Amino acid sequence: MLSKFKRNKHQQHLAQLPKLAQSADDVAIFYSPADFRETLLQKIASATHRICLVALYLEQDDGGSGILSALYQAKRLRPELEVSVLVDWHRAQRGRIGVAASDTNADWYCRMAADHPGVDIPVYGVPVNTREALGVLHFKGFIVDDCVLYSGASLNDVYLHQHDKYRYDRYHLIRNPQLADIMYDWVRQYLVHGCAVNRLDSADRPKSQEIKNDIRVYRQQLRDAVYHYNGNADNDQLSVTPLVGLGKSSPLNKAIYHLMPCAEHKLTICTPYFNLPAVLVRNIIQLLRDGKQVEIIVGDKTANDFYIPEDQPFKIIGALPYLYEINLRRFLSRLQYYVNSGQLTVRLWKDEDNSYHLKGMWVDDEWMLLTGNNLNPRAWRLDLENAILIHDPQHQLAEARARELEQIRTHTTVVQHYRDLQSIADYPVKVRKLIRRLRRIRIDKLISRIL
């Protein structure tokens, strides 16, 4: 049983977080990527003084082009608008995994800038580490005037449901001038003006190797870059708390760690890649031992964005969904007792050949974590992450929260037994051989820490 002292310690941590008062009428939840796309475009078109889009990437395809063209249109019509885009430095200068980098997103940004003389839309590349595998810009948020449109989605065809397929995420619009100012000011101070940050819409941008030392200094600066603000809400009213962090001991990680044990009745978790840090697994096990309910909603391996159908050429990256499924199967085998008792519910999401990218937590009917954090070792240690923690002690958002969870569960099936998941022996031959080879040289554990 979790002692009262320890429970109070976790609750005390959350109680001491600075909170911004929030009106329930100024929180909107969207339930589809198409709604997210239309809302973002509408907000860009109606912006009056600032637009700042931060995402892992803005892709050179129809979906991404629609967003960047809308930004140029808004700036052309209202030259006084402050417009900026921030994406990961490394991701923007390579092709998709397995595709040659002959025409990168950065090259496209340069062409768009050349095609719109006199209309300046800076696209900043943020290098969180010297190599993409060791850390990326995973900070999320689309700030338009006094609103924050928050989603774990990046900007391309599949995230925006531009054509047939979609990648499912969470989408929240929060109108809160203080929240928007805090996030915007932080982005300007630590990202736009970061010592290793350079514009990607310029053909004379430096090579990564040339700024390697700057990136190392910059990463250390990001570790210490936190939000500084005074809260104006108490613990009895609806509020929002922006969180940011890089590294194992970041304020965001601490908040996530303390949030989970505060569940008096139920904890719900969404993650696309089942690879939870050990400290979070221990939290879950303790909750189960204390008689609490835990629900985990994770993508089926075929709904993973790295999944490669068996009728297509196999690439090494295609083994990742199977590694995540192995993690989930092992986790369930340890906790089958709680599955049988009904305390632990694991749901697999699958909707035809669409993909799943949801992240976040719900604690009872009181706390809701909006984040792009995948709740995996990479997010815990390597990537620059952020979140918005919503505290709703009076359950003012109960109806919208319940509808969002109902929508998320729509295309899910409950795993009744760990043997319902395939074992390595059931996998395609190439996947099976690769995983066994990785295990022999013990590199699978290294992979789990960086992917």
**333 Cβ partners below 8 Å, 6+ apart?**
418
- Is residue 280 within 8 A of residue 256, CB to CB? The reply is yes
- Catalytic status, residue 169: yes
Residue 316 binned pLDDT confidence (cut-offs 50, 70, 90): confident
- Is residue 273 within 8 A of residue 28, CB to CB? The reply is no
- Is residue 139 within 8 A of residue 244, CB to CB? The reply is yes
Which entry of 10, 90, 138, 258 is annotated as an active-site residue? Answer: 138
Q: Is the pLDDT of residue 224 over 60?
A: yes
Give me the mean pLDDT over the 169-179 stretch: 98
pLDDT, residue 5, reads 54
- Catalytic status, residue 385: yes
Least reliable range by pLDDT among 78-82, 101-105, 227-231, 298-302: 101-105
pLDDT, residue 96, reads 65
**Angstrom distance (rounded) from CA 379 to CA 400:** 28
Which domains, ranges and CATH numbers included, belong to the chain?
A: 24-223 (3.30.870.10), 239-450 (3.30.870.10)
Which entry of 146, 157, 325, 385 is annotated as an active-site residue? Answer: 385
SS3 443: coil
pLDDT, residue 358, reads 96
| Helix (H), strand (E) at residue 243 | strand 239-245
pLDDT, residue 403, reads 97
Q: Is the pLDDT of residue 98 over 60?
A: no
**Reported pTM:** 0.95
The torsion defined by the Cα of 285, 286, 290 and 295, in degrees rounded to 10, comes to -40
Residue type, 306: F
Which entry of 161, 172, 258, 357 is annotated as an active-site residue? Answer: 357
Half-sphere exposure of 36 (CA within 13 A, CB side): 29
Compare 100 and 134 and report the one with higher pLDDT: 134
Q: Is the C-alpha dihedral spanning 395, 273, 98, 125 positive or negative?
A: positive
Q: Is the pLDDT of residue 4 over 60?
A: no
pLDDT, residue 234, reads 96
Residue 343 binned pLDDT confidence (cut-offs 50, 70, 90): very high
Residue 448 binned pLDDT confidence (cut-offs 50, 70, 90): low
pLDDT, residue 317, reads 86
pLDDT, residue 439, reads 76
pLDDT in tens, 322-334: 999 999 999 999 9
Chain-wide mean pLDDT for the chain? Answer: 94
pLDDT, residue 311, reads 85
pLDDT in tens, 373-424: 999 999 999 999 999 999 999 999 999 999 999 999 999 999 999 999 999 9
Give me the mean pLDDT over the 346-360 stretch: 97
- Is 424 exposed, middle or buried, given 0-12, 13-18 or 19+ CB atoms closer than 10 A? middle
Q: How far is CA 390 from CA 9, 156, 270, 425, in A?
A: 19, 28, 16, 43
Q: Is the pLDDT of residue 436 over 90?
A: no
Quickly tell me which residue has 């590294």 as its tokens: 247
pLDDT, residue 1, reads 44
Q: Is the C-alpha dihedral spanning 330, 333, 339, 343 positive or negative?
A: negative
**Angstrom distance (rounded) from CA 194 to CA 31:** 35
